[in-house]
Structure 1
Amino acid sequence: MPLSLHFSVDSKIERVATVEAKLVTFLVEQDLPYSLSEYLLKLVKSMPGPDLLSQATLGRTKATNIARQALAPHFHEKLLESLKTNLFSVVIDETTDSSVAKQLAVCVSFCDEAMNVQVDLLALVECSDGSASGLFNQLVKVMDDVKKAGVPLQNWVGFCSDTTNAMMGINHSVKTLVEGKYPWVTVVKCSCHLCALVASHACKKLSKSLEDLCRTVCNHFRYSTKYQDAYRKEFQVFTQVEQHRFLALAPTRWLSFQNCARRILEQWDALTLYWDSLVLDDPSNANDHVRMTLNNPYSRVMMFFVEYVLGELNEFNTIYQSEKPLFHLMKTQVEKLLWTFAMNSMKPSYVRTVNPFDINPHDEVNYLPDENVYIGYKGYDLLVGLETREVTSGYFVVESLRIRRSARDFYVEAVQ
C-alpha cells in the first residue's frame, strides 16, 4: 500500500495535517519536485465532492487515451481558433527522442486578446530527412493542415529558428524556401543561438588550457566523495572560500563557460594548494598539467578575461530570454555590443565615426597598441600587480602581449 494512505484521522487539525502529509508523501513516492505542491493543492481543492471522486477510475491506459484522444484535440482546436483572429509567428526546431527518432517541433507565438504573449506547440512531426528540403516539406504539410482548418495563412507574419546552415543558410535553406513560398513572412534568426555561436567561434581564439582546466577540475570532483570531503574540509576551510561545487562545462552551451570560469576563479587559491598536494601523491601528467596551469598567474589573467567578455555576451543573451516582447530593443543592443567590443581593441576616433554594423575588425590601421587592448578590470589589476613584481622580467612582456593579442583576436572574431 502506498505510504500516502498510511495516516490516521481524528480532529480537524489532524485531518488538515493528514491531507498535507498525504500530498507531500505522494510527491516523494512519485519522485516529483516540491515546487508542484502549491499547484497540486489547488487542483485538489478544485475537485468535486467525494461521491463523484469515488466513482472515477483512472489507470495508465485510460489516462493516456484521455490525453491523446480528448485533451490534445480539444486544446489544438482552441489554438487554431486563436490563430484565426491573431497574427502569429512560427518557431521550429529539431529534436531526437529516446528512440533516436528525429522529430520537428513547430511552435507558434502570438498575442491574445488580453495582449499576453502565448507560445504553444502547433505540431510535433517525425522528420527523418534533416536537410533543408526535408524540414521545409514537413513545415509545409503542417501549414497546409492549418489552412484547411480555416486559419488564414496571411496571419502568419514571422518565422524563427536556430542558425544552422540547413535552417538559415543564404543559398539553400528553410529560410530561403520560406521566403520563396511565403514572401510576406519576416524571417528572423534566433538571437540566443546566434549569441552562443559568436561565443563558440570567438573562444577558439583563446588557449584551450582554460577549457581543459574547467573540465578537469569538475570531472575530478564530480564522482568522488573522498576528493570532495578532502577539498572542503582542508583547502576551502583553510583559504576561507565559499564551499561551492564546481560547474560542468556544457559542450553545446558555450555561454556556460562564464559561470564555470567564475567558479574556478573563486576557488583558485584553494585549487592551487589542493593540486600542489595532489601531485605529491599522484604525479601523473594530467595532474601536473593542472598544477602548472593553476600556478601560472597569466592563466588566471586569461580566466578573468573569459569571465568579463562572456559576461558581456551573457548580458546580451539574457535580454532575449525575457517573457516580454523585446524585439524593438534588438538593433540597439546589437549596436551596443559591437561598439563595446570594437572600443576594447580599436581606436575610439575610428569607432565613434563609423556605423557599428560597418566596423571593419580587420582594419589594422585603426587597432589600438597591443598594450592598450582592454581585458576587463580584474585581469588588468592582476596584470599591473605582476608588472610591479616582474618589472625587469622579459617573461612578463612576452606573456602580457600574448594575453592582449589573444583578447584582440577574440574581439575581432566576435565582431566579424
Structure 2
Amino acid sequence: MAKAAIKLASVLAAHNVPFKIMDHLSEVLRDIFNDSKIAQELAMKRSKATTVVTNVIGKSYKEQLAHKLRETKLGVLTDESTEVGSIKTPCVVVRFFDHDNECVESTFWELCEVYNTANPENVGKGATASNLYEGMMKTFEKHEIPVTQMIGFGADGCSVMMGAHNNSVASRFRNECPGLFVIKCVCHSAHLCASEACKALRRKCEDSAREVYNFFKCSSKRQCDFVQIQSFFHLKPHKMLHPSQTRWLSLVAVVQRILEQWEALRLFFSDMWLSEKLVAAELIFNST
C-alpha cells in the first residue's frame, strides 16, 4: 500500500499535476478497479500526497543527490528573486557529472530564504553578499558536502554576486576554493551588449513596436480584420508579439514578426486610418 501511494504521488510531482486532484482520484480508482485489493485500501487525498512528496520522495532524492555531490566535483549556479509571497530567495542549482547517467546534469538544489523568520537577526543584514553566501554554504554544510568539491560558480553580473575586493558572493567563494572558475551569466552579458547597441537607434523604433502590439491586444475585431489581410497577402496568421522588459532579447522576435507581416500591417493601418479616421492608426502608419 505504501508503495502504491509513493508511486501515485511521484506521478503528480513528475508531471506537475495539482495535488487537489487526489481528493477525487483515489475514489475514482476504487470505483474503477473494484476487484483490486490495493485500490480498495488506497486512501490518499491532497494533504497526504503533499506530505509524501515533501517528506518521503523529496528527502530521499535530496539524500541521493547529496551522496553524489560528496564524491564528485560540482559547479554552483544561483540567482536571487522575490516570489509572489514577497519571500526573497536565492535559487541554488548544482551542475556535476552524474556517473550513473554518464552525462553532465544541472539539478535544483535548494531555495534559501534571505529573511528567515527563525533567524530574525539576519533581517538587519539585508540581501548582502555575506548573508547570501552564508545561506548557500549552510545548505551544503548541512548535507556534509565539502567546499573543496566546488570548482565553478555562476551568477548574474550584479555587484553583490560578482563584485571585487571581497564584497561579493564570488569573491568569498574564491577565498574558500582557490582556483575556482567564475563565470557571469551569458544571457545577462548578451542583454547588456544588445541594450547598449540599441541606444544607437531611435527610441521611436521600439515605441512603434509596442504601439503595434497594443493596437491589437484588446480587440478581437481588429485581430480578425488583420487575419483577412494576412490571407490576402498569403501570409501565416501570426499575431503581433509584445516587446518584454524582462525577457532578454525579446525585441529581436518582435522586429522579425513585424518585418514578416510588413505589407499586411501597412495595408491594415492605412485602411484603419483612412476609413475609420483613427488617430492611433494614423500615428502608427506615419511612424513606420
User: Normalised by the shorter chain, which TM-score bucket?
Assistant: 0.7 to 0.9
1:157 Cα deviation from its structure 2 partner: 0.9
Cross-structure match for 2:233: 239
Of 117, 124, 148, the match for 2:111: 124
Of 189, 193, 197, the match for 2:188: 193
Q: 2:203 matched to 1:208?
A: yes
TM-score by length of structure 1 reads 0.55
Instruction: Write out aligned runs for 1:143-158 (5 A).
Output: 143-146=140-143, 149=144, 151-158=145-152
Q: CA RMSD in A?
A: 2.3
Confirm or deny: 8 A CA contact 1:165 1:173 kept in the other structure: yes
Secondary structure class of the residue paired with 1:121: strand
Of 157, 160, 176, the match for 1:181: 176
Secondary structure class of the residue paired with 1:249: coil
What is the aligned-residue identity percentage?
30
Confirm or deny: 8 A CA contact 1:196 1:253 kept in the other structure: no
Q: 2:139 matched to 1:142?
A: yes
1:197 Cα deviation from its structure 2 partner: 2.1
Larger radius of gyration: 1
Question: Within 1, Cα distance between the matches of 2:242 and 2:95?
Answer: 33
Matched to 1:50, the amino acid is: S
Confirm or deny: 8 A CA contact 2:140 2:146 kept in the other structure: no
Of 96, 104, 109, the match for 2:90: 104
Confirm or deny: 8 A CA contact 1:213 1:290 kept in the other structure: yes
Cross-structure match for 1:354: none
TM-score by length of structure 2 reads 0.78
Question: Within 1, Cα distance between the matches of 2:178 and 2:140?
Answer: 14
Aligned residues: 245
Question: Within 1, Cα distance between the matches of 2:196 and 2:58?
Answer: 41
Question: Within 2, Cα distance between the matches of 1:177 and 1:185?
Answer: 11
- What do the CA deviations read for 1:342-392 (whole angstroms, capped 9, x no partner)? xxxxxxxxxxxxxxxxxxxxxxxxxxxxxxxxxxxxxxxxxxxxxxxxxxx
Confirm or deny: 8 A CA contact 1:200 1:254 kept in the other structure: no
Change (3 A) 1:276 1:109: same
Secondary structure class of the residue paired with 2:112: strand
1:96 Cα deviation from its structure 2 partner: 2.0
Confirm or deny: 8 A CA contact 1:218 1:246 kept in the other structure: yes
Structure 2, unaligned runs of 5 or more: 1-14, 19-34, 116-125
Question: Within 2, Cα distance between the matches of 1:79 and 1:254?
Answer: 32
- What do the CA deviations read for 1:51-82 (whole angstroms, capped 9, x no partner)? 21221111111111111111111111000110
1:229 Cα deviation from its structure 2 partner: 0.7
Cross-structure match for 1:86: 72
Confirm or deny: 8 A CA contact 2:147 2:176 kept in the other structure: no
Matched to 1:67, the amino acid is: V
1:252 Cα deviation from its structure 2 partner: 1.4
1:161 Cα deviation from its structure 2 partner: 0.8
Q: 2:222 matched to 1:227?
A: yes
Instruction: Write out aligned runs for 1:394-413 (5 A).
Output: none
Of 255, 259, 262, the match for 1:265: 259
Structure 1, unaligned runs of 5 or more: 1-26, 31-48, 295-416
72-81 or 178-187, larger mean C-alpha shift: 178-187
Instruction: Write out aligned runs for 1:15-414 (5 A).
Output: 50-113=36-99, 114-128=101-115, 129-146=126-143, 149=144, 151-171=145-165, 172-233=167-228, 235-280=229-274, 281-284=276-279, 286-294=280-288
Bigger helix share: 1
- What do the CA deviations read for 1:23-48 (whole angstroms, capped 9, x no partner)? xxxx9x97xxxxxxxxxxxxxxxxxx
Bigger strand share: 2
Confirm or deny: 8 A CA contact 2:233 2:264 kept in the other structure: yes
